[in-house]
Structure 1
Amino acid sequence: MTPSEYLTNGLPDGPIDQSALSRAQKALLALSDDVAQQLAEDHGVCVRPLALRRIELSTGRVDVVPVPCGSTREDKCPPCAEKARRLRMVQCRQGWHLEDEPIVRPADPTEAQKELMAVRADLHAAHALAREAGDETECENIADSVADIDAELRTLGVRGRLAPLDAPGQLPIKRSTRRRQDAPNLPRRPVENRTVGTVYGGRYRPSTFLTLTLDSYGRVDKNGAALDPDRYDYRRAARDAVHFPKLLDRFWQNTRRCVGWDVQYFGTVEPQRRGAPHFHAAIRGTISRAELRMIAAATYHQVWWPNHDHPTYSGDHVPRWDALASAWVDPDTRALLPTWDEATDPDALDAPAHTVTFGEQVHVKGILGGTEEAGRHIGYLTKYLTKSVGQAAGLDDTATSRQRAHARRLAAELAVTPCSPQCPIWLLYGVQPKGSRSSMVPGVCKGKAHRPEHLGIAGRRVLVSRKWSNKSLADHRAERSAFVRQLLAKAGVQPAYAVDDGPFEWETTKAGDPDVPPRPVLLLHAIHQRQRWRADYDAAVLAATDPDCSATESEAA
């Protein structure tokens, strides 16, 4: 092939004489960094490895090793995101169809723990006396002693929140728990201390797959864009998205009280194409469709915040910080803006600022464990975890102009919707946020709920109940590592990458450190390490399946 034919017919598969190519023809050749990155993705190696300095304390040897970035986003690091998604699939599978209770009874307190807690009680009383006497030095000394005791209690295996020395002087605001008149009443049963489902026919213990959605805000097309943007209720859509996590919490509270046992779930929050969040959940055990629909219809969350329908300030006419008063004031009258506690006083609020409810669409399906259908639904639960909220909603390169305009209208409404009591957007409505400070910028909040790519979904994308599998993600990672180590040990394969167990000390590296290699070198080192890991694992599998094959032969193979 002549050089002039390269641009017309493409590059050949065989050797290429680059000296015979023009500059435009050389531009068609693959870059070395792209080849290394594609090879890393093929081997499941992190494409953005971090350089950490590993110091072996016994010998003093220092190595700079690549460590995976741990990203959960496919657009940042596909191998790490896929690894995180598969770990979530394992977590979902292990807890969905359990037949035995995963509840572990806490250990009984030891004598050492009780003795330290008794000393802490004496220090509490001494701190109260010193505070009444106004002895700040003694209070600081007692606080330091309590901090040391708390650290020792943690070392002895005490978990949970320890009582603070300075108890809050103001009682929390109590509001009426009386249900709304337009919400159906739910039966309330004592919650049994069990999490597994009921067995049917002496052998079947099915579980449930649930999907909950929010209400409609207006008609949309097949891509989720509003057909009539002027009639679409963007304000309600933005507020529902911000307060959706609170609605889910209330739903699970109502579910446990209604069915009478400790319901466990593994759920994911994903956006619909219209931008509104919806919720998929794998529930252990069975709950009837009628009960779940009744619970969804009776669940609501009232937002007892100041009214924020119409901003008081806008543009350059915004509140100013008064350094003398350490508070925000009106730009014209210099009058202090009401604080958060004053604005949310029960006497000042006649009605909730917003009420979130579910829509009528509630999808319920029974699933048997170990079936192909169960695996398919686990994959569906974790399908969009590696994508950003905007990508999951279809806001990518294939989005139509109407979809983008719809997303911009929703983002504009989210920009003036407060996301929490600490949100600086409250200053636009003439209210000082909770914990206000001079560094705040009126109307500017860095929370994820206000970013256009998040569509108001600011919380966690995966919600797992405490007693789902009684394991954390770190426990699941440790199980997988232990399985590989046991397989290698059983097959008699000594890993080529094995290092002593330490002790090690890890240090972060800085840009410009002379001992830190460039990122392409780190990437090549990580690929080499993964290839050796795969060779050792394949040798162990071969040795485990063929008893006549020795470890030496397997390693050579």
Structure 2
Amino acid sequence: MVLGPALSDELVRGAAVLVGACVRPVLSRVTDTTTGDVRTVTIACGATREVICPSCADRARRLRMQQCREGWHLDTEPELDDPDASESDDEAPADDNEDDATERRVRSTRRREDVPDLPRLPVSGHTVGRTFEAPDGKTYRPSMFLTLTMPSYGRVTDEGVPVDPARYDYRRAALDAMHFPKLVDRFWQNLRRATGYNVQYFAAVEPQRRLAPHLHAAIRGAIPRKLIKQVAAATYHQVWWPGIDYSHHYRAGRPAWDEEQGGYVEDGGWMLPTWDEAMDYVDNGDGLDVGEEPEPVHVLRFGVQVDLQGILAGTPAADRRVGYLTKYLTKSIAEPLDIDDPHRISAARRAHIDRLAEEVRWLPCSPTCANWLRYGTQPKNARPGMEPGRCPSKAHDRDHLGLGGRRVLVSRKWTGKTLTEHRADRAAVVRAVLAEAGIEMDDHDQFSATATAPDGKARYVWTPVRPVDPDAPSYVWAVAKSIEQRRRWREQYDAAKQATGPPSGDVSATDPSSPEGTPPCPTT
């Protein structure tokens, strides 16, 4: 493919998006130590956000769609060859008295009195849902689609902005967003205990119009609606931290590191309490009246809105829900979900985003967050150079608005496969189509890092190409190379399908929202 020198970066980027090629390919220089040949190759960036690379983000979304669809209605138990190697997002269940520090502190496991009790059954190992028999003898194995929301922080308009920003509880909204993943983990733990089986799920975390997080989840198997709503109402998460009262934070200046004392000191030279000292103060109830029990700094609960839908395998409703689950994975949390032009955001909505972003910037996200210095406590594992408002966690970014965790949550036994294995499955379908048509595809393993030369050493040496290197190719050259590669794969794949017809399991046909689309890259 030849591109003239007059082509601009924007024009080349647009052409790459049209053919599904990566718009910001990573360049590497590969040296063949046997022949001495040196060539520059392009590798897809693998971004998951559309604003960074629309093509790679769309492929990542389609991969998640395949993962969701494959595990939702399984009728046999998936097998994990190596459970420790799973790329699952499902974390080990936490006990009710677990806090966010590295060392576990022993606290009462008694449930709060302001939440209902739950049934607690021994959890069996099976993950497949029950079957139901209709009067005509036909059997069904339904699954469910669940939506969980957070409570209200104040009245909002149809646009999702507060009616009265001064009375909107931004602090609670920010803390809920920061600890939302822990509340979700607690929900799955409680649901498994209440149902007595190992409930499996594929869930996506998304922002509502008001920017509060909510959860969409595909659940394998059918669970009584009353029980799920009961579990949602009884699920909570307590944050046992030192106080984060605004009346005590350092509004001007900040504590400084004292090398001699090995910690941060206030203006008067007194060292701030360490994290362990501050947590001892919380656990011992220092400053409380006699008989008064320590309280967590924050308690998370779900809102009253719980939406449940029964879904049958192979129905249009199942396909629509898979698309709905993955619809916004390429968007950031703060990005508007219902318009194409971000400049059309109203002033009120922009102010709402700014206010929430300011809140999450200064609140601590974890025991090691530098923002603890703002509230008179040294972060856990404090070190020199920490500065409030500059914690590297993405939870503080405007694009995340407190949601620093994963956007996709998948239980360990959803399919029994890692995301890498799902990617390999998609590539295998393409290879099978080409092989059946007798089309010889590129040898993508020809530069393998594991290939060895006759002397037993690595044959191919990979060296990253930096944009500042004097001999680095231009952006136009790199994207043109990416376009050429993608077009070649597309032409080969189309020719193979023309010759043999779309096979069973054709990956481009598994996405109902895609009119064919582009084939998955055999190497990604």
Under a length normalisation based on structure 2, what TM-score does the superposition of the two structures give? 0.82
Determine the C-alpha separation between the residues in 2 that align with 1:392 and 1:268. 17
Alignment-mate amino acid for residue 340 of structure 1:
W
* 2:348 paired residue number: 402
Query: Are 1:174 and 2:99 counterparts?
Result: no
* CA separation of 1:498 and 1:172: change in aligned 2, threshold 3 A: closer
* CA separation of 1:106 and 1:498: change in aligned 2, threshold 3 A: closer
Determine the C-alpha separation between the residues in 2 that align with 1:388 and 1:366. 29
Determine the C-alpha separation between the residues in 2 that align with 1:85 and 1:416. 32
Give 1:444 deviation, angstroms.
3.4
For 2:259, which of 301, 306, 323 is the aligned residue?
A: 323
For 1:384, which of 305, 319, 328 is the aligned residue?
A: 328
For 1:259, which of 154, 172, 195 is the aligned residue?
A: 195
Q: Is the 8 A contact 1:55 1:61 kept in 2?
A: yes
Higher Cα radius of gyration:
1
* 1:216 paired residue number: 152
CA deviations 1:449-484 (Å, max 9, x no partner) are: 222232211111111111111111111111111222
For 1:429, which of 375, 384, 388 is the aligned residue?
A: 375
Q: Is the 8 A contact 1:270 1:392 kept in 2?
A: no
Give the match's secondary structure for 2:62: helix
Q: Is the 8 A contact 1:267 1:279 kept in 2?
A: yes
* 1:183 paired residue number: 115
RMSD (Å) for aligned C-alpha atoms: 2.2
For 1:64, which of 40, 44, 69 is the aligned residue?
A: 40
Give 1:264 deviation, angstroms.
0.6
Alignment-mate amino acid for residue 52 of structure 1:
S
Give 1:508 deviation, angstroms.
1.2
For 1:530, which of 465, 483, 486 is the aligned residue?
A: 486
Taking the TM superposition and a 5 Å limit, the aligned residue runs for 1:253-332 are 253-332=189-268
Alignment-mate amino acid for residue 144 of structure 2:
T
Query: Are 1:88 and 2:64 counterparts?
Result: yes
Alignment-mate amino acid for residue 353 of structure 1:
V
Query: Are 1:193 and 2:125 counterparts?
Result: yes
* 1:40 paired residue number: 16
Determine the C-alpha separation between the residues in 2 that align with 1:533 and 1:106. 33
Determine the C-alpha separation between the residues in 1 that align with 2:469 and 2:353. 44
CA deviations 1:7-57 (Å, max 9, x no partner) are: xxxxxxxxxxxxxxxxxxxxxxx9543332222111100111111122345
CA deviations 1:198-255 (Å, max 9, x no partner) are: 1111521111100000000110000110001121111111111111111001001000
* 2:290 paired residue number: none
* 1:164 paired residue number: none
Q: Is the 8 A contact 1:311 1:429 kept in 2?
A: no
Taking the TM superposition and a 5 Å limit, the aligned residue runs for 1:474-485 are 474-485=420-431
* CA separation of 1:35 and 1:443: change in aligned 2, threshold 3 A: closer
Give 1:393 deviation, angstroms.
5.5
Give the match's secondary structure for 1:384: coil
Give the match's secondary structure for 1:480: helix
Give 1:58 deviation, angstroms.
4.6
* 1:416 paired residue number: 362
Query: Are 1:103 and 2:95 counterparts?
Result: no
Q: Is the 8 A contact 1:496 1:532 kept in 2?
A: no
Give the match's secondary structure for 2:139: coil
* 2:279 paired residue number: 344
* 2:315 paired residue number: 371
Determine the C-alpha separation between the residues in 2 that align with 1:403 and 1:498. 48
Determine the C-alpha separation between the residues in 2 that align with 1:172 and 1:359. 29
Determine the C-alpha separation between the residues in 2 that align with 1:545 and 1:277. 43
* CA separation of 1:483 and 1:501: change in aligned 2, threshold 3 A: farther
Determine the C-alpha separation between the residues in 1 that align with 2:443 and 2:279. 61
Determine the C-alpha separation between the residues in 1 that align with 2:64 and 2:374. 41
Determine the C-alpha separation between the residues in 2 that align with 1:231 and 1:301. 24
Q: Is the 8 A contact 1:189 1:259 kept in 2?
A: yes
Give 1:71 deviation, angstroms.
0.9
Q: Is the 8 A contact 1:497 1:532 kept in 2?
A: no
Alignment-mate amino acid for residue 462 of structure 1:
V
Q: Is the 8 A contact 2:328 2:337 kept in 1?
A: no
* CA separation of 1:290 and 1:31: change in aligned 2, threshold 3 A: same
Give 1:536 deviation, angstroms.
1.7
Alignment-mate amino acid for residue 334 of structure 2:
G
* CA separation of 1:393 and 1:484: change in aligned 2, threshold 3 A: closer
Determine the C-alpha separation between the residues in 2 that align with 1:238 and 1:419. 10
Determine the C-alpha separation between the residues in 1 that align with 2:49 and 2:370. 29
Determine the C-alpha separation between the residues in 2 that align with 1:393 and 1:38. 22
Structure 1: give runs of 5+ residues left out of the alignment.
1-29, 108-153, 155-169, 547-557
Query: Are 1:205 and 2:141 counterparts?
Result: yes
Q: Is the 8 A contact 1:302 1:355 kept in 2?
A: yes
Give 1:514 deviation, angstroms.
5.3
Determine the C-alpha separation between the residues in 2 that align with 1:60 and 1:47. 30
* 2:96 paired residue number: none
Determine the C-alpha separation between the residues in 2 that align with 1:106 and 1:473. 14
Alignment-mate amino acid for residue 467 of structure 1:
K
Query: In terms of mean alpha carbon deviation, does 361-370 or 335-344 score higher?
Result: 335-344
Query: In terms of mean alpha carbon deviation, does 394-403 or 321-330 score higher?
Result: 394-403
* CA separation of 1:171 and 1:535: change in aligned 2, threshold 3 A: closer
Alignment-mate amino acid for residue 496 of structure 2:
A
Give 1:403 deviation, angstroms.
1.1
* CA separation of 1:311 and 1:453: change in aligned 2, threshold 3 A: farther
Give the match's secondary structure for 1:222: coil
Query: Are 1:355 and 2:299 counterparts?
Result: yes
For 2:405, which of 436, 439, 459 is the aligned residue?
A: 459
Q: Is the 8 A contact 1:496 1:536 kept in 2?
A: no
Determine the C-alpha separation between the residues in 2 that align with 1:515 and 1:412. 43
Alignment-mate amino acid for residue 278 of structure 2:
A
Structure 2: give runs of 5+ residues left out of the alignment.
1-5, 86-101, 287-293, 452-459, 503-524
Under a length normalisation based on structure 1, what TM-score does the superposition of the two structures give? 0.78
Give 1:501 deviation, angstroms.
6.7
Q: Is the 8 A contact 1:340 1:431 kept in 2?
A: yes
CA deviations 1:479-503 (Å, max 9, x no partner) are: 1112222222222211367674752
Q: Is the 8 A contact 2:21 2:55 kept in 1?
A: yes
* 1:472 paired residue number: 418
Q: Is the 8 A contact 2:395 2:404 kept in 1?
A: yes
The structure, 1 or 2, with the larger RCO (C-alpha pairs under 8 Å, 6+ apart) is 2
Q: Is the 8 A contact 1:497 1:533 kept in 2?
A: no
Query: In terms of mean alpha carbon deviation, does 537-546 or 66-75 score higher?
Result: 537-546
Give the match's secondary structure for 2:192: helix
* 1:507 paired residue number: 463
* CA separation of 1:543 and 1:424: change in aligned 2, threshold 3 A: same
* CA separation of 1:409 and 1:498: change in aligned 2, threshold 3 A: closer
Query: In terms of mean alpha carbon deviation, does 306-315 or 421-430 score higher?
Result: 306-315
* CA separation of 1:88 and 1:498: change in aligned 2, threshold 3 A: closer
Q: Is the 8 A contact 2:115 2:234 kept in 1?
A: yes
Give 1:339 deviation, angstroms.
0.9
